[in-house]
Structure 1
């Protein structure tokens, strides 16, 4: 990196579960700090599922279906005892389990939103807005 004297403060927002990116960010932060650049990071951590996690986040998904999905995920071993996903939602065979259950999401076109929320809960997603307030506060604190 070409780090000049007027290099601006840097904020890294990332998911520590992505070990490759985590290593690159740690290295970059060290290089920047050694050059006198103010550096901060916001870590996007996993979120525990609960009976209403999905219904709280997906319009059109009612609490009963959300609770049934949560029970299905527990029954199939997709979540640990604290409600955390054991694998990325996209790598978990939850859709196969869904087909074998009596829960119907297909007609409501909710399979994709559930998939995305499970990915977010595992904290291995590409983008996020969950930490927006913290990000904006950091930027505001560095405006002159």
Structure 2
């Protein structure tokens, strides 16, 4: 569930449930609030933990590994374009949010017919995930489920 958190409205009673924060530390304002309230919850005796969703480096096969209908050649071409245009750093990490990167314009200028239109949205979502400033994730599902299982009565 996407939940912003109502930190300033939390009523932390003795029976407050164990709490898990799953978040992107790149969101500095939210990171600050989570750090603050982890301490508040711990001081009240609440079992609390956090799972951080970190950036992912792009590689020549990053997109094709994650989007079944995108072949490796196109994935590598896009990765090379991103490097050439300075959209990724020397380690393959996105310099800016995929939604704010003008990769479609760069693609249109250099290879206008390379990409089918229905692949644009999935690529944008994967770039957003790689930048780690996104709304949802399933990458940490196993860790999240293990935490919940360990807290079942």
TM range (shorter): over 0.9
2:116 is matched with: 106
Q: How many residues align?
A: 143
Give TM-score scaled by structure 1 length: 0.96
1:91 is matched with: 100
Shift of 1:106: 3.3
2:19 is matched with: 10
1:130 is matched with: 139
Shift of 1:4: 1.1
Which of 77, 87, 96 is the matching residue for 2:86? 77
Structure 2 segments unaligned to the other structure (5+ residues): 1-9
Matched, 1:25 2:38: no
Structure 1 segments unaligned to the other structure (5+ residues): none
Give TM-score scaled by structure 2 length: 0.91
Shift of 1:20: 1.1
Aligned equivalents of 1:70, 1:45: Cα separation in 2: 20
1:40 is matched with: 49
Instruction: Give me the CA root mean square deviation.
Output: 0.9
Q: Secondary structure at the match of 1:110?
A: helix
